[in-house]
A and B are shown apart, each in its own frame.
Chain A
């Protein structure tokens, strides 16, 4: 009982810290704001494998969506990926780039299970079918030297 209560207080304290931390965690934002994503998505943090020039922050939402946020050595998020049975909150993940994504998506229709948006500032592949969605959004100009999009899972 006491243990559960302590856990609750800790969670509340963490939540408050997260909410106070930063408004958004998102593509183009600071890795410090990843905590805001965790809080908003009520996500559990999983260990991630970092690579040369970047770190990975892995979260899993209660609905089973796995989100990976990739940050460069300065702590700037240059890519996010998602995978799960439902679509994620892309506005949260893409942050200021969400409007670019939606605006570009309207231009051409290519079936329901695949969408690519690509310009010099933003590349998004969203794909999959009901029960299995996945995708990636990255900032091509912000990829750390030597990091290829194919390296990002």
Chain B
């Protein structure tokens, strides 16, 4: 249905000889650079391409994605990097750590080594996300992104045959997201502030519910795991100058969104001519949580965060009507011009203006990229998702990295 709509839209645009911009941007087959898109494209060998579009080709058209930003990632089954496959539609996520790929999205021909503990038990993981969990073994892959390579990195292969039985404790954390349609992507490239998804806590403790498991033929039990064996931030394992952080660049958008957009993921911060902070303001986040504060309507929301893996601006405001069919999103009768103040842990502030449009109207456009999409949330949190990233260059510097006179974790924009 969606594909037909997209083809119809494209045909209509060509028929009317309108500009592609008037048709809401390019399609997945005819990529178009609007003025704003061109400004968001950064050149350099340390740059991977970003796209916001309707998602993987295997996704049912009724479940097309909105505001999910993707890149291609190449994985190889040996350090020689002589047997590699490239996987498209990997979600670029500054709110998680580690590369996770749905097994069915990995082309045949790779034989990724299984991670084992000292007693030869296979290591598997319950990947925890707010909207559900991923289950599957931890394997080692050599990861290539732009011109950088990281050797033998622990990654999660989601829904790998042979790991069909999800531990009860993992299943009890929420919604299973073990296929492309429920995950909304072929995988996720977690490049957030933290070097590992769990970190030092899991070296000596097994959280309840557990994250890492040691598996035998009879089942899986929670296990401790050294940080080197946990899912690591792949970018942090790239070469010097490319491993201290990332910068995301996406174009600004018109009020009704764009059919799809292109942008850039730049590796490294303050190391090349294309990733300089210059006068960009730095905002330190809480080193344990990655959170900072947002002041909205006089309320200080201390559990706020900025991340590329949320598809909207999510915050609690009972004065904005919710949608009837697009559950969870806001549907004001006319677009709201709002503002909030982001405050870092040292009190450095940024006043942010943003719009919230009627989500159902936005979705009816058939577009996939919206800067004015929002919805409700739990008290104490303002989730600055992908709409925040449009029209900005956002730097994410990893924990412990010293950049521009400040030590990560911090975000700069």
Contacts and interface: CB of A to CB of B under 8 A. Distances in A.
State yes or no: do A and B come from one complex. Answer: yes
A117 interface: yes
Contacts, number: 187
Contact of A150 (B97, B183, B312, B318): B318
Given A89-B173, A111-B310, A127-B383, A116 B375 contact: yes
Interface in A91-127: 91-92, 98, 101-102, 105-106, 108-119, 125-127
Query: Which residue, of A91, A131, A133, has the highest number of chain B Cβ atoms within 10 A?
Result: A131
Contacts of A115: 130-132, 174-175, 328
B327 A63 contact: no
B93 interface: yes
A110 B131 contact: yes
A112 B93 contact: yes
A77 interface: no
Given A108-B327, A111-B310, A134-B303, A129 B95 contact: yes
A112 B129 contact: yes
B172 interface: yes
B326 to A, nearest CB: 8
A131 B287 CA distance: 10
B96 interface: yes
A150 B377 CA distance: 10
A18 interface: no
Contacts of A50: none
Nearest to A93: B172
B205 A127 contact: no
A42 B128 contact: no
B379 interface: yes
A111 B172 contact: no
Contact of A112 (B95, B181, B199, B327): B95
Given A89-B208, A129-B309, A116 B327 contact: yes
Contacts of A127: 130, 314, 377-378, 381, 383
Contacts of B375: 110, 114, 116
B378 A135 contact: yes
Contact of B208 (A42, A110, A113, A153): A42
B67 interface: yes
Contacts of B175: 101-102, 105-106, 115
A111 B386 CA distance: 9
A30 interface: no
Report, as a range, how many residues of chain A touch the other chain. Answer: 35 or more
Nearest to A125: B378
Contact of B378 (A63, A109, A111, A136): A136
Interface string A19-32: 00000000000000
A128 interface: yes
Interface string A29-66: 00000000000011000000000000000000111000
A130 interface: yes
Contacts of B365: none
A113 B289 contact: no
B186 interface: no
Interface of B: 63, 65-68, 91, 93, 95-97, 128-133, 169, 171-176, 181-184, 188, 190, 192, 194, 197, 199, 201, 205, 207-209, 211, 288-291, 303, 305, 307, 309-312, 314, 316, 318, 322, 326-328, 375-381, 383, 385-386
30 contacts: A62-B208, A63-B208, A83-B303, A88-B209, A89-B172, A98-B172, A102-B174, A102-B176, A105-B131, A105-B132, A109-B63, A112-B93, A112-B129, A112-B130, A112-B309, A112-B310, A113-B95, A113-B129, A113-B385, A114-B383, A115-B175, A116-B328, A116-B375, A116-B376, A125-B376, A126-B174, A127-B130, A129-B309, A130-B197, A132-B303
Interface of A: 41-42, 61-63, 81, 83, 85-92, 98, 101-102, 105-106, 108-119, 125-136, 148-150, 152-153
